[in-house]
Amino acid sequence: MTAPAAHAAGVSAPPAAGVSAPHAAGVSAPKAAGVSAPHPAGAPALQAEGLALKLGALRAVDGVSLALHAGQWVAIVGPNGAGKSTLLSLLAGLRKPDAGRVWLQGRDLATLPAPARARALSWLSQQGEAEGDIAAHDVVRLGRLPRHGLFGTPDAADEAAVAQALDETEATPFAARRLNELSGGERQRVLLARALAVQAPVLLLDEPTTHLDAPHQRALLRGLAARARNGAAVAAVLHDLTLALAADRVLVMDRGRIVADGSPADAALRAALVQVFEQAFSIEAVQLAGRARWAVVPHL
Amino acid sequence: MKATLDTPHTRAARAWPEATLLGLGLAALALLLGVAGLAAGSEGWSLAWLHGSQDEWSLVTAIRAPRTVGALLTGGLLGLAGAIAQGLFRNPLADPYLLGSAAGAGLGVVLVLAAGGVLGHYIGLATADWLLRVGLVGAAFVGAVVGVALTLMLARGTARPIVLLLAGVVVGIVLSSISELITLVSPEALRGKQIFMLGTTSFLGWSSCVVLGVVLVPAAALAWRYARALDALVLGEASAASLGLQLPRVRLLLVALMALATGTAVAQAGLVAFVGLVAPHIVRRLVVVTHGPLLLLSAAAGAVLLLAADVAARSVIAPQELPVGVLTAVLGGLYLLVLLRRRQLQA
């Protein structure tokens, strides 16, 4: 952890962990929002301070600060164009912000070598870009590239990680088929397996449930929760708000800013969620197998 | 359920015996069959080893053998360059000539031909002819490299593949226009340019084979080494970058390899169309492999394709010969039409 040394040197360092991000950054949020979900103690796995990026005249990300902790899975939600995917790509170090910084496990992402970043952080893009005739399990093997690099030889541990990721997404039965010959849902499971095969401590997933049917959505979310329980920091952009409300913590974005951040059990967070989506739905409490859940009911 | 994972290398290894047998068969055919008139002054088909005369033996060793080896190596370079181009631009219709190398090589040839015509008046036709033979190969290579360099400059590097492709198209159009302008002013360059544009293996000698081999072997080895980057590009640019790859550096190296392979092939055999485009397609239809095996198998397929086309070009209207580039263009075009039709039907 380099933060204290960085402070001493006058270098910008991650702010103190455990501070509710919107308040720390002075981001305006609804009054009731900003109640952070409880998260494990210790330094954040990923932390951002004052991130901003303009795309043309649009402030796609406008002064976002947040901290993602190991052991917690976070859903990022918001209307179309709210800046969710752009924020995720900034957090993954794939875009250079106009302002602000990101620290990955306490190290400045801007100066972290790309292979080290790739080993510590796995990013899944929105589906649509992946295109090719290589076999599904060769796609998943790419998840091990950060470990052995372009010139290394994959070993038994790599093959075990690939097989495990294929099993986890139930993609093993079609692992030998070409990527281009798979259905949208099958392809998404292969791409998810690729992201999981990295076995990175930080997982950033952009719309991972796209094209997945209900059983596979359930399997994915259970898998993400299990990964978090095993010590990973997981953040996923989700459009299905009922699924998002099953997360440990929800970040609500609107017009490039985080306008609410907290546990789904927080009434203020749910109110903010309804507000940014223009009261297009209500959120109802349901009891499922003796546990409280939140269900989104559209106003039709 | 645990997966039993088949590796791309084992899958590729299964394809090698058939490819090797096919290549050897074609090579034997290319050595045996030929228009004897090329060397011995007689006409019709000859089976050199059956006749066994010294002239016939010389014809095999001095003309048919280097031509056969040269066709294999040229096809190998084009197949390799095609597989790199299609992986790099994430487009199965990408062609190794896309980045201005073809038009650049064409302009180089036209410039030398035009200069040879002018020089012939002053230094004697024989000397000018010799200069032309030496200069054409060099000019085509330099032209191809200059064409790619101009494309890279116009696109300001390789960071944006779409811009790179568009820059290649622009450079191709401009350089081709300049070639046309020169042939208008210097009509004697037109005939030579035509031969070059049609592509031919007739002029491949042992020296050409050495040049082609010296480029093909290290180019294939280097491309194999960086093939995982092409695999990663299957996921898209951003995802490939998220895997920790230094994409600008890798892309520049692969573009340079593609330019070198294409430039060398074009310099020795002219513009042989469609081999670079079709060879990777055929491989992908036959086996499901990653880019490492794909690059090598595409080189092998390109070699076999060009040799097969060369044998056919010598046979179709014997004792006359078709320029092999004409045959590859017709067959390659037909192949793509069938492919397109099949995809439309599937859709």
The answer to the question of residue A265 being in a domain is yes
**What is the number of alpha carbons within 13 Å of residue A151 lying toward its C-beta?**
5
State how far residue B239 is from chain A, nearest Cα, in angstroms.
7
A7-46 residues touching B, CB cutoff 8 A: none
- Count structural domains, chain A: 1
Q: Is A94 on the interface with B (CB under 8 A)?
A: yes
The list of chain A residues with pLDDT below 70 reads 1-42, 127-128
Q: Which residues of B touch A92 (CB under 8 A)?
A: 242
The answer to the question of residue A157 being in a domain is no
Q: What distance in Å separates the CA atoms of residue A136 and residue A6, rounded to the nearest whole number?
A: 43
> What is the model's pLDDT at position A16?
54
The answer to the question of residue A78 being in a domain is yes
Residue A179: what residue type?
A: L
Q: What distance in Å separates the CA atoms of residue B163 and residue A206, rounded to the nearest whole number?
A: 27
Higher pLDDT, A77 or B345: A77
pLDDT tens sequence across B122-158: 655 555 555 555 677 778 888 888 898 899 889 887 7
Please give the mean pLDDT across all residues of chain A. 86
Instruction: For A32, list phi and psi in degrees, rounded to 5.
Output: -75, -15
Look at A150 and B289 and tell me if their CB atoms are within 8 Å. Answer: no
Characterize A88-105 residue by residue with b for buried, 16 or more Cβ atoms within 10 angstroms of its Cβ, and e for exposed.
Answer: bbbbbbbbebeebbbbbb
Residue B35: what residue type?
A: V
Beta bridge partners, B282, equal none
| Helix (DSSP H) and strand (DSSP E) numbers for chain A | 11, 12
Pick from B1, B90, B228: which is nearest to A150 by CB? B228
C-alpha A239: how far from its chain's center? Answer: 13
Q: Is A145 on the interface with B (CB under 8 A)?
A: yes
Characterize A208-238 residue by residue with b for buried, 16 or more Cβ atoms within 10 angstroms of its Cβ, and e for exposed.
Answer: bbbbbeeebbebbbebbbebbeeebbbbbbb
Q: What distance in Å separates the CA atoms of residue B284 and residue A179, rounded to the nearest whole number?
A: 12
> What is the model's pLDDT at position B115?
81
Position B82 pLDDT exceeds 50: yes
Q: Which residue of A has its CA nearest to B9?
A: A138
Q: Are B313 and B329 in contact (CB under 8 A)?
A: no
Q: Are B271 and B103 in contact (CB under 8 A)?
A: no
Q: Classify strands A249-254 and A257-262 as parallel, antiparallel or unpaired.
A: antiparallel
> What is the model's pLDDT at position B138?
79
Q: Is A29 left (phi over 0), alpha (psi -120 to 50) or beta?
A: beta
The answer to the question of residue A189 being in a domain is no
Q: Which residues of B touch A119 (CB under 8 A)?
A: 244
Q: What distance in Å separates the CA atoms of residue A268 and residue A262, rounded to the nearest whole number?
A: 9
Q: What distance in Å separates the CA atoms of residue A73 and residue A143, rounded to the nearest whole number?
A: 21
Q: Which residues of A touch B291 (CB under 8 A)?
A: 134
CATH of the domain at A255: 3.40.50.300
Q: Is B228 on the interface with A (CB under 8 A)?
A: yes
* Cα angle A58-A60-A63, degrees, rounded to a multiple of 5: 115
pLDDT tens sequence across B197-206: 788 888 888 8
Q: What distance in Å separates the CA atoms of residue B272 and residue B327, rounded to the nearest whole number?
A: 9
Residues 6+ apart with CB under 8 A from B33: B45, B46, B47, B311, B314, B315
Look at A163 and B291 and tell me if their CB atoms are within 8 Å. Answer: no
Pick from A130, A132, A176: which is nearest to B6 by CB? A176
Neighbours of B112 (CB within 10 A): 25
Beta bridge partners, A299, equal none
Min mean pLDDT across A188-197, A282-291, B56-65, B211-220 is at: B56-65
> What is the model's pLDDT at position A24?
35
pLDDT tens sequence across A266-278: 999 999 999 999 9
Q: Are A93 and A51 in contact (CB under 8 A)?
A: no
Q: Are A49 and A21 in contact (CB under 8 A)?
A: no
Look at A118 and B244 and tell me if their CB atoms are within 8 Å. Answer: yes
Q: Is A194 on the interface with B (CB under 8 A)?
A: yes
| Annotated domain spans of chain B | 32-346
Residue A223 structural domain: 3-123+199-298
Instruction: For A139, list phi and psi in degrees, rounded to 5.
Output: -65, -45
Q: Which residues of B touch A118 (CB under 8 A)?
A: 242-244
**What is the number of alpha carbons within 13 Å of residue B230 lying toward its C-beta?**
31
Q: Are A82 and A59 in contact (CB under 8 A)?
A: no
ipTM exceeds 0.90: no
The confidence band for B190, taking pLDDT boundaries of 50, 70 and 90, is confident
B196 by DSSP, 3-state: which? helix
The CATH number given to B32-346 is: 1.10.3470.10
**Comparing C-alpha atoms, which of A99, A34, A103 is closest to residue A68?**
A103
Work out the average pLDDT over B163-188.
Answer: 89
Look at A178 and B288 and tell me if their CB atoms are within 8 Å. Answer: yes
Q: Which residue of B has its CA nearest to A190?
A: B235
Q: Is B229 on the interface with A (CB under 8 A)?
A: yes
The answer to the question of residue A146 being in a domain is no
> What is the model's pLDDT at position B237?
87
pLDDT tens sequence across A59-96: 999 999 999 999 999 999 999 999 999 999 999 999 99
B72-101 residues touching A, CB cutoff 8 A: 90, 92
pTM, entire model:
0.82
Neighbours of A27 (CB within 10 A): 21
Pick from B2, B231, B238: which is nearest to A94 by CB? B238
Full DSSP string of A108-134: ETTTS-HHHHHHHEEEEPPTTS---SS
Q: How many CB pairs under 8 A join A and B?
A: 109
> What is the model's pLDDT at position A27?
32
Please provide the distance, in angstroms rounded to a whole number, between the alpha carbons at the two ends of chain B: 33
Q: Are B334 and B91 in contact (CB under 8 A)?
A: no
A234 by DSSP, 3-state: which? strand
Min mean pLDDT across A240-244, B32-36, B105-109, B235-239 is at: B32-36
Element holding A145 (H helix, E strand): helix A145-148
pLDDT tens sequence across B18-52: 667 776 776 666 666 654 433 333 344 444 444 55
Q: Is B246 on the interface with A (CB under 8 A)?
A: yes
**Cα dihedral angle (B58, B64, B313, B70), rounded to 10 degrees?**
-150
- Rounded alpha-carbon distances, angstroms, from residue B202 to A20, B76, B324: 76, 17, 9
